[in-house]
Amino acid sequence: MEQVNVKLTLAYEGTDFSGYQRQAQGERTVQGELEKAIVSLTEEEPKLIAAGRTDAGVHAKGQVVNFMTASRIPLPRWAAALNSRLPSDLIVEQAQAVPAAFHARYDAKAKTYQYLVSRRRWPDVFLRRFCCHYPYQLAVEKMQAGAAFLVGEHDFKGFAAAGSAVATTVRRLYRVDISEQDEELSFILAGNGFLYKMVRNIVGTLLLIGEEKMAPEMITEILATGQREKAGPTAPPQGLTLMMVEY
């Protein structure tokens, strides 16, 4: 039977998911909900490949997954058909047919993440699920100076959570931009790949620099030594959103 390789672009609010990846024990996951919808639509058990796993509480505006299907449902109908079967915190933004060789993880050239921080005195009731509340004075220009050291190809071992088995901890960051709007601080990070908890560890470190508890130049030392303990704490998940995956 002829198979089609389907690429889906997903948006989800991570709040009520135990992350992207399906787990044992019946935890609610993005993959689990999406698989249920696909099974209901096609009566096939799909083998989903995602661009990357997102942790519990982390959001996505542009997660990408692909899977092979023998279903004869025309591609223009997939998004509506799946969305009518998905919960309101998970949406298929787009469904496309892609070449059989396309692989959402291996073929990803760049990923872009946003991390949002609110410096309001009191938590914002509207943004509380989508930002880290951090009501402190922050020296943004020092954070930007620290961020500049991160751009380029480096060994990011010092910003990776322990225990993830990867062949190399060298990655290339294309940009680490920090911008202010009202009382929100938005971090945009784009790179060819990210280690486990790397964005949240970078943000946690830049926040220490913003509080002037660490010098911007410490970034170069963390990169040079690869010592996780020199870096800042892991910023909480709800501020993080996977914005886009480029192929």
Q: Is 140 or 188 the residue whose CB approaches a copy of itself more closely?
A: 188
As measured in angstroms, the least distance from the Cβ of 122 to a copy of itself is 5
> Can you give the length of the chain in residues?
247
Q: Is 133 or 172 the residue whose CB approaches a copy of itself more closely?
A: 133
State the catalytic residues. Answer: 55
Residue type at 39?
V
Q: Which residues bind a copy of itself (CB under 8 A)?
A: 11-13, 59, 61, 79, 83, 88-93, 122-126, 128, 130
Strand 152-155, strand 49-50: pairing:
unpaired
As measured in angstroms, the least distance from the Cβ of 17 to a copy of itself is 11
As measured in angstroms, the least distance from the Cβ of 171 to a copy of itself is 27
As measured in angstroms, the least distance from the Cβ of 18 to a copy of itself is 17
Q: What share of the chain is helix, strand, coil (3-state, %, to 5)?
A: 25, 30, 45
Q: Is 130 or 159 the residue whose CB approaches a copy of itself more closely?
A: 130
| DSSP calls for 142-181 | HHHHHHHTTSEEEE-GGGSPTT---S--EEEEEEEEEEEE
Cα dihedral 115, 121, 125, 129, rounded to 10, equals 20
Q: Is 61 or 228 the residue whose CB approaches a copy of itself more closely?
A: 61
